[in-house]
Amino acid sequence: MPSRTATIASSVGLHARPAALFVKQANESGLDVQVARPGEEAVDATSILGVMTLGAKHGEQVEITAEGKGAEQVLDALVTLLETDLDAQG
């Protein structure tokens, strides 16, 4: 399954606002997208509860995986999102 590693750029981590934006984009892909700390159990990246429970912090690495058509592009876009400081955009 295609996967990417991203470093969380948001200064507050994947908290409410950045988490919501990440989940929105994962949902819009229409694919089965999962996110995890490397080597740990993955959570559903299309669930805000899942992503907030994961609670990835600023500077932490996460692995995202996606299954289905266009998965590579979806992952590239999600990596770009995670590696942007979403909180800086207000």
Given 15, 26, 31, 82, the catalytic residue: 15
For the sheet containing 3-7, what is the strand order?
A: 3-7, 61-67, 32-36, 43-44
- Look at residue 23 and give its three-state secondary structure: helix
Among 6, 8, 14, 15, binds other proteins (CB under 8 A): 15
Pick 63 or 87: Cβ nearer other proteins: 87
Look up residue 88 and give its two tokens.
């800086």
| 58 in catalytic set | no
User: CA-to-CA distance for 90 and 67, rounded, in angstroms?
Assistant: 31
What's the min distance (Å) between Cβ of 4 and other proteins?
23
Show contacts with other proteins in window 54-73 (CB under 8 A).
Answer: 55
Residues carrying an active site annotation: 15
